[in-house]
Amino acid sequence: MTPYDEELRAAGLDPEAIRAQVEQALAEDLPGGLAEGDVTSVATIAADARGSGVLAAREAGVVAGLGIAALVFHEVMGDTVEVTDRLPDGTRVAPGDVVMRVAGPTRGLLTAERTALNYASHLSGVATATAHWVDALAGTRARVLDTRKTLPTFRALQKYAVRCGGGVNHRFSLGDRAMVKDNHVVAAGGVVPAYDAVRRAYPGLRVEVEVTGLDELRQLLDAGCTEILLDNMDTDTMAEAVRLTAGRATLEASGGLTLERAREVAETGVDFISVGALTHSVKVFDLGLDLSSGSGS
């Protein structure tokens, strides 16, 4: 148990899984364990030295993963570290804003620094990218969705960061819902046979089917499909798809979408815009830790 377990659960994260991941991340820096320590810090810093650090934003954006960063410091230093002034994940920040302060044994602060920043910078990058899409869609009915194009083992955290940025999570795994893609359609012999096959096999499961043209859309609407993905359609075709659907199904636009086109696509009337780049091509957010070292006791 850590002081962060309840916070992680409230964020929709599994505390045990996150702790295990943090421990694995720390082991990359400390293969011999915490007792081995950071050799540079051991050589240059007195064992009883204490210090404090300010974690600050160096650009504008949305922060996420600060609780994970705090957990990293706790895993290294236990109750000897003090974390204060931590902003809630999802907070919009400007350059120079303090997002968190830490104080504790100087060796421990430096040992934990890079791992803590790696988590917070990456997840804040995801949240910031998501917020850009949310801002672009403001005033329309469309909402931005993530995808399963996540870093292996980072899906829960990346999808959490999407939520921090104001986005919506699509399915988490292959078992959450059925997603009938082009290869399934080919294998089943058409969009309706594929849809019907899923309904027979999993009658209680949500089913979304991908279409590439209006004829497939009409077939699915007649079959009663209520979740349809419009794949790689131009703006005019998407607008016609919305008109034909007339509220009978939710429509998700996907494929090659850019932030520059976000507003144009949203104004067709689609319900969702899915963006793999939120997680697979995100730019890390610029966070830095400035340390002030105190004297030993």
Which candidate in 114, 199, 218, 283 is catalytic? 114
Q: List strand residue ranges (DSSP E) for 31-139, in order.
A: 49-57, 61-62, 82-84, 92-93, 98-105
Half-sphere exposure of 169 (CA within 13 A, CB side): 17
Residue 283 falls in the annotated catalytic set: no
- Residues comprising the chain, all counted: 297
Q: Which of 32, 56, 37, 59 is nearest to 47 (CA)?
A: 37
Distances (CA, A) of 217 to 28, 107, 186, 269, 275: 49, 61, 16, 16, 21
SS3 of residue 250 by DSSP: strand
Alpha carbons 51 and 107: distance in angstroms, whole number: 9
Instruction: State the catalytic residue, choosing from 9, 141, 181, 243.
Output: 181
Catalytic residue among 146, 208, 210, 271: 210
Beta bridge partners of 93: 61
Point out the catalytic residue in the list 75, 208, 231, 252. Answer: 231
210 is catalytic: yes
Is 231 labeled as catalytic in the residue annotation? Answer: yes
Active site residue 181: yes
Catalytic residue among 58, 92, 149, 261: 149
114 is catalytic: yes
Residues forming a β-bridge with 84: 101
Q: Which residues are the active-site residues?
A: 114, 149, 181, 210, 231
